[in-house]
Each structure stands twice: as C-alpha cells, then as structure tokens.
Amino acid sequence: MRIFPSQLSKTEQIDLIDEISAALRVAPLFVPKMPRTGKEFSVRMSNFGPLGWVSDQKNGYRYQSTHPETDAAWPVMPQSLLDLWSEITDYPAPPEACLINYYAPGAKMGMHQDRDEDDFDAPVVSVSLGDRARFRLGGTKRGGKTSSFEISSGDVLVLEKDTRLAYHGIDRVYPNSSNLLDHAKEWFPEGGRINLTLRRVSKI
C-alpha cells in the first residue's frame, strides 16, 4: 500500500467537487443494497466512467454500463483522474470505473475486499475529499490483524500487489473537519466526505 498525503491541492479538490456536482445531475446518488439481505449501505453512490459498480438484492455486486435507476450511461471520467492514475501507477491501461461514495455524517464502510474485477493485477486508487476519516486495513483473510490511520482531504491511497485484495474499510468520518463540500451544498447540504475509487475491471 502507498499513501500520498496532500497529493491534490485545494484548487484541484474544488475542481473535482465541481466535476462530481455536474455528474450527479445526470447520474444521481443511489443507495446500494446488500445482495442476500437487501440491507441498505450507509453510503450513497454514483460512478464515472464506461463502467460503474452497483449492488442490489436481486443481482448482487457487479459492474454495468448504466445507472441502475435512470438506465443512462455513466458520466465520462474526468481527465484529472485519468492523469492521476497515470502519474502514480505504472499500470499500462486506464481505469474503467470510478466509484463516487458519499459519506454523510454517521456513514461508514465495513471491512471488505475489492474483488468484483477480472484483473487483480491492476491497482485500486482511492482519492479522499472532504471530512477526515479513519481508514482500517487488514490482511487478505477476514478477521485477521488490522491497523488504522486517518486520511484527509486531498490524500490519495493505492492498494496494489500484496494489499490489492486486503480487507479494508472506513470506521468513522469526523464531521466538520473540512469545509470542502460547502462548494456543492446543492448535493451535500450536510457536508461529509466523498471517496473516489478508481478501478480497472477487465484484463488487458
């Protein structure tokens, strides 16, 4: 795992918030559900790119080319995110999906693996925007030893090689620790945190 603290400047973060706001006009946030139980996630979600990650009780975890509620194609991935992928990874193909996970105050993400892709050789790149959060990282088996640390707005984290299939999650978000989402009050009136996760889905 690699961490790039303050990789994005404040201006670059604001530009991404503007890109996200534009995307949500055509691909609004939706609430994913667990496959077996139908329990709703506490995060809300959308996607950039040719593919988007979705989940529901009927069809489970998967990638698809259209929004699950509007059936419209996902918005094009911002060039700044494609450039970031090229800058900090040496993977020879671009990401195909960028999850937009919105953590309102009180939202969190349980320990999980990113394993719905066909290609585990490609890294997973995560961009943190907004409120500070506590990130937890474990091993490749559930229930093993974990460590945790805080990540802040503008930080970028890369899971690759031995940590590509590591269990990870967000224990908590620290409310009002950033005012970045004030730039998009239309979509995020409560503030909170956005995590952008870039993934390559298909093998090259």
Lowest mean pLDDT among 30-34, 110-114, 121-125, 149-153: 110-114
pLDDT tens for 141-190 read: 888 889 999 999 999 999 988 888 888 899 999 999 999 999 999 999 99
pLDDT tens for 61-108 read: 999 999 999 999 999 999 999 999 999 999 999 999 999 999 999 999
Tokens of 180: 């970045």
Q: Is the pTM of this model over 0.85?
A: yes
Q: What is the pLDDT of residue 143?
A: 81
pLDDT tens for 4-21 read: 999 999 999 999 999 999
Angle in degrees, CA 47, 201, 57, rounded to 5: 60
- What top-level class would CATH report for the domain 2-199? mainly beta
Q: What is the pLDDT of residue 167?
A: 86
